[in-house]
Amino acid sequence: MTYNKNKGSSHRHNPTEESLENLIKDALSKSLCTGIAAAVSMDGKLFWSHCSGFTAREEPAAAQSIENHDQASKVVIAPIDAETRFDVASMTKPLSTSLLILKALQAGAL
C-alpha cells in the first residue's frame, strides 16, 4: 500500500477500512495522540495499513510537554510513515500480558 505524506493510505477499499481510518482521524482531531501507524495482518499477509499524524506535537506544545526543557530542542517532528519507530514505553506490560493470556487460552490452559 502506498502512503500520502501525513494523509494515511492512498485509497479505501471497503467500509471497514473507512471506519478504521475515521476512528484514527477522530483520535488525532481530539489530540489523543500526535500520530498513528496501524496495520491489520494475518498469517504474514498484510490486509490493511494506515499512517497519519506526526512524531510529536508542533512547537511550542512539544516543548511544554517535556519537563526537561533542554530536551525540547531535540524533539524531531516528522510525518508518521510505515518506517516510523515508536517507543512503546509503559505499554510493554499490558501488551505482553495480553499476548500471554491469549496464547494460554488458545492452548486450553485457561
With respect to residue 57, please indicate whether it lies within any of the assigned structural domains: yes
Give the pLDDT score at 11.
55
With respect to residue 104, please indicate whether it lies within any of the assigned structural domains: no
With respect to residue 67, please indicate whether it lies within any of the assigned structural domains: yes
Query: Which is more confident, 75 or 82?
Result: 82
Q: Is the pLDDT of residue 26 over 90?
A: yes
Give the pLDDT score at 61.
52
pLDDT band at 30 (very low <50, low <70, confident <90, very high): very high
Q: What percent of the chain has pLDDT over 90?
A: 48
**Around 1, how many Cα atoms within 13 Å sit in the side-chain half-sphere?**
26
CA 74 – CA 53 distance, rounded (Å): 19
Query: Which is more confident, 1 or 55?
Result: 55
Query: Which is more confident, 91 or 47?
Result: 47
**Contact of 8 with 51, CB cutoff 8 Å:** yes
Segment 19-31 shows an average pLDDT of 93
With respect to residue 75, please indicate whether it lies within any of the assigned structural domains: yes
How many domains is the chain built from? 1
With respect to residue 8, please indicate whether it lies within any of the assigned structural domains: yes
pLDDT digits 0-9 by tens, 33-81: 999 999 999 999 999 999 999 998 876 554 555 555 555 566 788 999 9
Segment 84-110 shows an average pLDDT of 89
With respect to residue 16, please indicate whether it lies within any of the assigned structural domains: yes
Range of the domain at 16: 3-85
With respect to residue 9, please indicate whether it lies within any of the assigned structural domains: yes
With respect to residue 98, please indicate whether it lies within any of the assigned structural domains: no
